[in-house]
Structure 1
Amino acid sequence: MYNGIGLTTPRGSGTSGHVVKNASALRPGQEARNLQRQRDRDRAPKAKPVDQGIVEHNRRRQVEVECLELQDELEAQGCAEDEVEARVDTLRKQLLQNLDRLDPSRSRKIRHFETQRVAEAKSRENQRLASALRVEEGYTEGAAFDRELQELRREKRLLERERQALEDRDP
């Protein structure tokens, strides 16, 4: 047996025990397709765009949770019902005014089923990484291998330099 393949002993099997690759099952060109499939699997998936409607809903939901927590706290203290409603309404109005600044991730940890929050956090991380690596806004994967596109970009840079040089000469 070699690397867990083959018989432990060839005795009584009618074979020599020599392990040979079975190439009869492969058709011509199949290896290239298998390599391409493996490359496709290894390539990172593109990030899903964040649905702003769901993010907005989660922020409003967080506002309501904080209002309910305040209401429970005030009721436990024995405050009057009118006072509880008034304080909860003022808190709700204050939080709704600052809704765009409300961070939904500060209230609790992200759970595995909250895909929108995960996607939002991942997109922020990708933006920071892209700015750190100075990746252009309209970057497309594989564009460096497109000779025509690279030639157009080179010509555009040359024209821009010439225009800049003319502006510098003429004050």
Structure 2
Amino acid sequence: MYGNVGLSTPRGSGTNGYVVRNLSFIRTRKDTTQFESLEESKSKASSLLNRKPNQDILNHEKKRQVEIQCIKYQQKLEDEGKYKETEIEDLVNKQRQKLLSTLDNMKDEKNIQEHQVHQLSQAKATENEKMMRALGIKRQDYVEGAAFDRDLQEQKKRDRAAQREKESEERSKKKRKRNR
């Protein structure tokens, strides 16, 4: 026994007799002022989920890729040994201007790393746009979370039913006019 804690004898206990700290114990917080309200946490979470990519960072990354391609092109020309330094610089500058003119058309790579947050958010935004187009959802009509609002869904259902009723009346009037 050590400091009045532990077993008087470790024999038959399956332990070596040493007292160790329980590392799996989770302490609860006593200060509740650190916790946010439910609404604050929801708004914070939604703002993190819908964070827009920074276009300046994305453009900088594209320009970096252009410079990498230019350096590879320059090394290739130097290895060939057919051109002088000034000619190589001119050719590389022409190539750089050509690549910079197509900067907007450059597609981002498919193998985006975890640390490339802005590329990930841009890819997610384009994926969401594709999905909205596929499902026929218009951006101006879309309200996030509206599908879970039962009152709103009931109202939309009544509106659609009224619209169908109106259209069927118009069709029947047209049919009657043709039959006269």
Normalised by the length of structure 2, the TM-score is 0.55
Give the equivalent residue in structure 2 for 1:119: 121
Are residues 150 and 111 of structure 1, via their aligned partners in 2, closer, same or farther at CA, if it must alter by over 3 Å?
closer
Question: Contact 1:62–1:104 (CA<8 Å) still a contact in 2?
Answer: no
Q: Which of 49, 60, 70 is matched with 2:63 structurally?
A: 60
Asked whether 1:145 is paired with 2:156, we answer no
- Mean CA deviation greater in 115-124 or 134-143: 134-143
User: How many Å apart are 1:70 and its aligned residue?
Assistant: 0.7
1:167 & 1:54 partners in 2: Cα distance? 55
Is the Cα–Cα contact under 8 Å of residues 63 and 96 in structure 1 kept in the other structure? yes
AA in 2 matched with 1:145 = D
Matched with 2:79 is: 76
Alpha-carbon distance in structure 2 between the residues aligned to 1:167 and 1:56: 54
Query: In the alignment, what sits opposite 2:23?
Result: none
Q: Which residue of the partner structure matches residue 85 of structure 1? A: 89
Question: 1:39-54 to 2 correspondence within 5 Å?
Answer: 46-54=49-57
Q: Shift in Å at residue 104 of structure 1? A: 3.1
Per-residue deviation at 1:127? 2.7
What letter is aligned with 1:86? Answer: D
1:90-109 pair list within 5 angstroms? 90-105=94-109, 109=111
Percent identical pairs in the alignment equals: 28
Deviation (angstroms), 1:163: 7.4
d(CA) in 2 for partners of 1:165 and 1:88? Answer: 68
Q: Distance in 2 between matches of 1:143 and 1:46?
A: 18
Does the Cα contact within 8 Å between 1:51 and 1:116 map onto a contact in 2? Answer: yes
Structure 1, unpaired ranges of 5+: 1-35
Shift in Å, 1:130 = 3.5
**Larger RCO of the pair (alpha carbons < 8 Å, separation 6+):** 1
The amino acid that maps onto 1:112 is: E
Go from structure 1 to structure 2 and tell me whether the alpha carbon gap of 1:145 and 1:111 turns closer, same or farther (over 3 Å shift).
closer
